[in-house]
Homo-oligomer: A and B are copies of this chain.
Amino acid sequence: MDDLLKDFPVVVELPVVWGEMDARQHVNNAVYFRYFESARTLYFEKLGVWKMIGDTGVGVILASINCRFRIPLTFPDKISVGVRVINIQEDRFTVEHRIVSHHHQKIAAEGDGLLVAYDYNALKKAALPDAFRQRIQELENTSQH
């Protein structure tokens, strides 16, 4: 199973909880985006996003996101949610998310999110600070590939 997430520098382990299932007895589709977010938030913490906002006034905004559902998740199970940056441009970057079910030992879902830099002082799009881009490179280099 570790193989399924070996290229992901940040992985969080979460329990599937009973109340996340909907009337069809599977984890509801909206909950997968909560799972993605939990991994992404940890990645941002490691990047120092909150400090960056304080120092430069520049933060990141989720512009779009998608999910491809592979296996329905059910309670009880545990999942590992990986996140990595697969593309960086001047003013935006793309994260890839992957959810692995411990019970099935398989990929349960995958998705990509596009994040754009935003200057909260000037109230407009901005370039990603250089220090931020460097920190992403460093984090990505810690993955097991």
Pick the contact of A63: B33, B65, B68, B76 (CB < 8 A): B68
Q: How many residues of A contact B (CB 8 A)?
A: 31
Q: A41 CA to B66 CA in the complex, in Å?
A: 19
Interface of A is mostly: mixed
Near B by CB (< 8 A), chain A positions 1-45 give 12, 14-15, 17-19, 21-23, 25, 28-31, 33-34, 37-38, 41, 45
Q: A76 CA to B50 CA in the complex, in Å?
A: 14
Asked if A18 and B38 make an inter-chain contact with CB atoms under 8 angstroms apart, the answer reads: yes
Asked if B29 and A33 make an inter-chain contact with CB atoms under 8 angstroms apart, the answer reads: yes
Pick the contact of A22: B23, B66, B67, B69 (CB < 8 A): B23
